[in-house]
């Protein structure tokens, strides 16, 4: 029986904890398989995906910046991906590729594990890429009122159209859209109970994120004061990004993206293997890997 293969594809991908997390879960489940990381620039995506298909990969995760472009390369789209309009998990079955989304359910599970009830809450989400789509979908399903703030306002408008009133599943969901430089962003932030960074801003804060990661900055308007009652979530994991540092300095509860990573990964694992993964093993593998990265960058 050949060793089964899985991977994460993206650009950058070197910082990803998915290989450590999934390899630990595969070992713990006694599955003879390996999970790797493959850096693919946007112009390499089609050829790279075909290579994975030809080589008989059983499945792969899709990360920055390919979650929307991936629709062009799968044979089937599952309901989870169609609803969010982003693909982060692909199942390969006999050479047929099926796109799924586990970011939305992973974000829901992470909020629950952190004890956050967001029903009726006002939420501001920075970003309108693949991850933001999962987060906005999750928040709308949980009954939050969502404002999306993005540098490219047209992308945020498209997100609001895809997940808004025209969506057959989400119904009349009034997503408010603001450009990142709109003066209305600061009052919106100060009215909100939940702030989420779903941009890549802060990624290059990670020593291992590589040169093409987003700026080291934060999506917050300069000098904005956050109210201490605001819960602040950064999808970037394992480090105090400038966004989380500012939130902590303002007295806010601040949460990184580690639990979402574990929960979305656990759902991908279930899809690929049909086996319930040990999420504690997955979380511990991520924490071990982060501790190693910290030790390496300190030495
Ligand atoms: P993406 O599709 O490439 O979207 C990137 C987003 O970041 C866009 O909204 C983009 O704005 C914004 N952005 C990039 N550079 C910027 C800059 N210099 N100034 C302002 N905005 C900028 O990426 P993604 O897949 O959504 O991932 C976003 C982040 O979420 C990444 O850090 C990723 O690692 C993280 N993530 C974490 C988890 C988890 O489980 N914890 C899951 C998924 C993703 P424009 O539209 O203007 O380009």
State the pTM of this model.
Answer: 0.94
What's the DSSP call for residue 266?
Answer: H
> Is there an atom of ligand 1 within 6 Å of 266 CB?
no
Using most ligand atoms within 8 A of CB, pick from 127, 159, 177 the residue to mutate for ligand 1: 127
Q: In the sheet that 4-10 helps form, which strands lie side by side, from edge to edge?
A: 33-39, 4-10, 59-62, 89-93, 96-100, 76-77
Is the confidence at residue 216, as pLDDT, over 90? no
CB neighbourhood size of 165 (10 A): 12
Ligand 1 pocket, 215 CB below 6 A?
yes
Order of strands across the sheet that contains 253-255: 176-179, 145-150, 122-126, 194-197, 231-234, 253-255
d(CA 269, CA 240): 28
SS3 assignment, position 203: helix
> Tell me: the pLDDT tens digits for 29-68?
999 999 999 999 999 999 999 999 999 999 999 999 999 9
Ligand 1 probe mutation, 39, 131, 152, 185, most atoms within 8 A of CB: 131
Q: What is the mean pLDDT of residues 236-242?
A: 91
Q: Whose CA is nearest to atom 36 of ligand 1?
A: 235
**Residue 67 among the catalytic residues:** yes
As a whole number, mean pLDDT of residues 241-262 equals 97
Residue 93 token pair: 């079955």
- Nearest-5° Cα angle at 72, 108 to 150: 50
- Roughly what angle, to the nearest 10 degrees, separates helices 103-113 and 258-273? 130
Q: Facing residues of 176 across strands?
A: 147
Burial 250-278 (b: 16+ CB within 10 A, else e): bebebbbbbbbbbbbbbbbbebbbeeebb
Among 3-7, 15-19, 278-282, 290-294, name the one with the lowest average pLDDT.
290-294
Report the separation in Å between the CA atom of 128 and the middle of ligand 1, taken as the mean of its atom positions.
7
Pocket of ligand 1 contains residue 259 by CB under 6 Å: no
pLDDT digits (tens, 9 = 90+) for 69-108: 999 999 999 999 999 999 999 999 999 999 999 999 999 9
């Amino acid at each position: 029986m050949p060793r089964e293969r899985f991977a994460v594809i993206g650009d950058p991908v070197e910082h990803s904890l998915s290989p450590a997390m999934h390899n630990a879960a595969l070992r713990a489940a006694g599955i003879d398989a390996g999970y790797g990381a493959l850096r693919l620039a946007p112009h390499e995506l089609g050829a790279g995906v075909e290579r994975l298909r030809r080589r008989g990969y059983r499945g792969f995760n899709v990360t920055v910046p390919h979650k929307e472009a991936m629709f062009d390369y799968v044979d089937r789209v599952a309901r989870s991906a169609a609803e969010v309009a982003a693909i982060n998990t692909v199942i390969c079955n006999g050479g047929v590729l099926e796109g799924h989304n586990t970011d939305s359910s992973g974000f829901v599970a992470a909020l629950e594990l952190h004890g956050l009830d967001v029903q009726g809450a006002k939420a501001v989400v920075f970003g309108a890429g693949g991850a933001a789509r999962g987060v906005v979908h999750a928040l709308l399903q949980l009954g939050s009122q969502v404002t999306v703030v993005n540098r490219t306002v047209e992308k945020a408008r498209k997100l609001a159209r895809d997940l808004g009133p025209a969506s057959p599943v989400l119904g009349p969901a009034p997503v408010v859209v603001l450009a990142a430089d709109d003066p209305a962003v600061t009052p919106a932030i100060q009215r909100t109970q939940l702030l989420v960074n779903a941009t890549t801003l802060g990624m290059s804060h990670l020593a291992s994120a590589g040169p093409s990661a987003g700026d080291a900055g934060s999506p917050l308007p300069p000098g904005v004061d956050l109210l201490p009652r605001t819960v602040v979530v950064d999808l970037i994991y394992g480090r105090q990004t400038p966004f989380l540092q500012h939130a902590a300095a303002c007295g806010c509860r601040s949460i990184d993206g580690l639990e979402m990573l574990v929960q979305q990964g656990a759902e991908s694992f279930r899809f690929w293997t049909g086996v319930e993964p040990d999420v504690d093993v997955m979380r511990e593998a991520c924490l071990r890997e982060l501790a190693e990265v910290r030790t390496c960058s300190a030495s």
